Structure 1
């Protein structure tokens, strides 16, 4: 069975902000996977996309990626980071994709591997 990968808000914004080809990189790292994201992340991307500017553009692209490429899951948490951690802690996600250092640590503390930026535009896996 393919591992489940929970994608955080800032990961969806990487294609615009950091020129990272998110799903190409996930394909390179993992031999098949199921991308998921909490509803709270989709909502955060929607709100950020209304701001305009580079952040708004990145969030708009991220929102499209989330809704087109990921299974969107409901969680008890309404704050995006807490929702991602909830997926990790309950065993729904075997990987968390984020560049947020505190969130990376929370995922590792929950014994979930983290996929984050290494170098200019490549992703790498950190095991707990």
Structure 2
């Protein structure tokens, strides 16, 4: 059975904003997995990329990573955070990657482990 790791907007922006080698770190933490992201995350990244500056660049890189490396899935929810929680509650996600504290708490409440930044550029898992 494949491990599904669902990435949110903040996770996909980590390579530029926080100098995190995202997929290398996920390989280290999880091993073999299917990187997945809900469609609303792509929409959020697209909107953020239009702002320009470092955030816009990070969002553009995140969008490219998502479309090139992730399985993009449709959800009932149109808001990115709600879509991630939906995937957690439905048992689609084995892990969710986020640096958003409010989202982290919601995912942990749904019983799914969260992978987030620990230290300067390493990822670690928080269990529910």
Q: RMSD value over aligned CA atoms?
A: 0.5
Q: Does 1:123 align with 2:123?
A: yes
TM-score by length of 2: 0.99
Aligned mates of 1:93, 1:18 — CA distance in 2: 24
2:106 paired residue number? 106
1:81 paired residue number? 81
The SS at the match of 2:5 is strand
Give the gaps of 5 or more residues in structure 1. Answer: none
Deviations 1:3-35 (A, max 9, x none): 101100010000000000110000001120011
TM-score by length of 1: 0.99
Task: Count how many residue pairs are aligned between Structure 1 and Structure 2.
Answer: 128
Aligned mates of 1:78, 1:31 — CA distance in 2: 30
